[in-house]
Amino acid sequence: MIWFCYTGVCHAVNILLAVFKFHKMQNQPLNNESKQQEEAALEPKKITLQVSRVQTSMRIDQYLTQQVENATRNKVQTAIVEGRVLVNEKTVKSNYRIKSCDLIQITLLRPPAPELAPEDIPIAVIYEDEDLMVINKKPGMVVHPAFGNWTGTLANAILHHIGKEAEELDKSELRPGIVHRLDKNTSGLIIIAKNPVALHRLARQFAERKVIKMYKAIVWGVPEPLSGTITTNIGRSKKDRKVMANFPFEGKDGKTAVTDYLVTENLHWFSVLSLTLHTGRTHQIRAHMQHLGHQIIGDETYGGAALRTLPISRSESFVKNLLELMPRQALHAETLSFHQPTSREPLSFTAPLPEDMESVLQKIRSVFLQKATGRTLKNSLRMLSLPKVMTRWSW
């Protein structure tokens, strides 16, 4: 059965449902909710890891390079030599081979960050007033400077766009005016505050879960049921700290994460989902889609970029071509609804799907419609009792 949805009607219904659920949830405290930022900046950076029971034995410098984000082998070896790596409370050498359940503590020194400078980088501003901007971020753009991306970020572009007004913003943490974040390879809407008062008020709206954030994603397969709520705890994976993992809800690991999903287009082997966030955990949607078993197409970190076999002719070349068209996660921040921080006026913005996601959808739809048309024609020929030679299809 083919599921069709008129975009305008479906989008309006989604927003109404999201508004209802947000109002309903505002007075429901979430377990493990933290008032602090999930990844507060620390100087120096201290990390504690416990080696899994099933971890293959290897040198500790190799293990830490794999497990710690932005840690090169040279940095790890220097930390070991300087005594900033402890295994079971004792210093070790670089050739120490890790053992099951080893408790590892590493302290990484952070070099002083370069001064944040304005850069003339084109950005798509879809709304702007004296307090804020709403930007449609293109995929591939890093939101704020960090290791490996000190320039060319949205933060650099913001300083250039705002000009003298940016002098009021705090640049000490390299996040001037940035209220929330999007992953580098996630496209879509992001709010930027233009002064400290607006930043504080907008941040409060996010903290009190009064901002409606809706995303569009293209995923593998079709979730059953076609709508629902995913509730887990999300935290750093114990096997790989660069990846977020799902843990039992209300358990001791991770923090509560809640995502609503709705299938807006059923494409048999794929589907388009509308997703509403009730919390803002790192990689929340991507981790939740993996948990659901319907990974986002192109998401290499969470299993969405693996080759799969579909029940169609030339399946392998079709899937390869699809992943070439979408070398990132097919995830787009489509809608933001919030209140203007000064006037309290309700504001709502929607950004159309970017070109790469539209191209992928067109390709999927064309094959899906061919498949559906072939089935319909086959059934018609059978009803007419025509010879089988006329019903040969490549599907």
Q: What integer pLDDT is reported at residue 162 of this predicted model?
A: 87
Q: Which domains does the chain have, with CATH numbers?
A: 45-108 (3.10.290.10), 115-355 (3.30.2350.10)
pTM: 0.72
Q: Which amino acid is at 186?
A: T
Mean pLDDT, range 196-222, rounded to an integer: 95
pLDDT in tens, 78-99: 999 999 999 999 999 999 999 9
Longest CA–CA span in the chain (Å) reads 83
Q: Which of the two residues, 395 and 136, has the higher pLDDT score?
A: 136
Give per-residue pLDDT as tens, 272-328. 999 999 999 999 999 999 999 999 999 999 999 999 999 888 899 999 999 999 999
In this structure, the chain runs to a length of 395
Give 183 or 34, the one with higher predicted confidence: 183
**Out of 27-31, 115-119, 303-307, which region has the weakest mean confidence (pLDDT)?**
27-31
pLDDT at position 175 = 77
For tokens 């319909």, the residue is: 376
Position 67 confidence tier, pLDDT thresholds 50, 70, 90: confident
Token pair, residue 24, equals 């309903």
Buried b (16+ CB within 10 A) or exposed e, 187-206: bbbbbbbbbeebbebbbeee
Examine the pLDDT at 211 and tell me if it is beyond 90: yes
CB 289 within 8 A of CB 234: no
Residue 340 pLDDT exceeds 50 = yes
**315: CB partners within 8 A, 6+ apart:** 309
Band (382; pLDDT cuts 50, 70, 90):
low
- Give the percent of the chain with pLDDT over 70: 79
Query: Which residues are part of the catalytic machinery?
Result: 183
